[in-house]
Amino acid sequence: MPIPVDKNGKLKTDNPWKTALVTMAKPDYLMLALNSLKELIDKQQLKDSNFKAIRSIVEDETFTKENIAGKSSCAAALCDFIKNIVAYYDVVESVEPKRNAVREAQAQLDAANAKKAIVDAEVAELNARLALLMIAYDKAMSEKQQAMDEAAKCERKLDLANRLVSSLGSELGRWQQSIEDLTEYIKVIIGDVLLASAFVSYVGPFNKPFRIKIMTAFRTFFTQNKIPMSASADPLKILTDEATVAQWNQNKLPSDKVSTENGCILTNSERYSLIIDPQLQGITWLRKTWDTKGLVVTRLSYKKMVS
């Protein structure tokens, strides 16, 4: 239902709360009325007296969303809306004089543009005459430039051809060597990969001397059973590369060979590795390496740990 107001927009009732209850009984109408306030302000169809009437209430330090939220979240939201719509009205009122100034400036600009159009017409006529002269000049310069560009193009092609012939001469040897190396490597890749797999599977629990003995035994077995293998087969070269190891060292993994081997085993094993780490070097490396990948740290004693 419409809110009863007089010709000045003031509420015609001695009991505002009763009127508010009646209005809130129809929330659809209330929401429609609230949503239309911005449009009415933009069209300057709301009188300043409406905002003067509630100015003291809005400026009351107790009239805040936080204070009212304890009583009613809906009333708190309405309080926030009232403060914002009053602030919006103030902004619109302060902007209107500036809009008028813009209109005046636009009128002055239009007059200046009219004068400028006359001058532009004269300039255009002069430019048309100049254009005829420039066409003849550009044609002559274009013919000259084409000849120079063609000469430069031929010179660049000749230079590139000479450089290509020179480069291919040195690359041929490298390509041939690469083909030979890959051909030889294919012959022994089975043994090298099998040796790396054995390394990951079996040497993890042992110290350096035992690891050397185990790998020596594997190499002997491969030789006796004629399994093709590189003469200097190294599991680390199969399992990782220098750039990765350098990143591990930067993440506080010790640079000794056993630590590097442990890193290879951990990152290439299909099962979760058990780390015995009294000096906390391993946990430091793990955290620095996998923190950025969503690492979560827990303990077996944690009550929510899934056993």
pLDDT digits (tens, 9 = 90+) for 37-88: 777 777 776 777 777 777 777 777 777 778 878 777 777 787 788 888 888 7
Residue 246 in domain: yes
Residue 294 in domain: yes
Q: Provide the domain limits for residue 97.
A: 16-107
Least confident of 16-30, 102-116, 121-135: 16-30
Spatial separation of the C-alpha atoms in residues 31 and 253, rounded to whole Å? 64
Residue 198 in domain: no
Average pLDDT of every residue of the chain: 81
Return the closest-CA partner of residue 216 out of 200, 203, 201: 203
Decide which of 57, 77, 107 is a domain's last residue: 107
Residue 176 in domain: no
What pLDDT digit, counting tens, does each position of 223-244 carry? 888 888 887 888 888 888 999 9
Residue 83, pLDDT score: 81
Dump strand ranges (E) for the chain: none
Please count the structural domains in the chain: 2
Residue 277 in domain: yes
Spatial separation of the C-alpha atoms in residues 187 and 226, rounded to whole Å? 12
Decide which of 54, 83, 107 is a domain's last residue: 107
Residue 129 in domain: no
211-236 b/e (C-beta count within 10 Å ≥ 16 → b): beeebeebbeebeeeebebbeebebb
The band of 107, judged by pLDDT with boundaries at 50, 70 and 90, is: confident
Residue 50 in domain: yes
Q: How far is CA 138 from CA 130, 144, 245, in A?
A: 12, 10, 63
Spatial separation of the C-alpha atoms in residues 227 and 193, rounded to whole Å? 11
First to last CA, the chain: 65
**pTM of the full structure:** 0.43
Decide which of 74, 107, 140 is a domain's last residue: 107
Calculate mean pLDDT across residues 280-288.
89
Residue 163 in domain: no
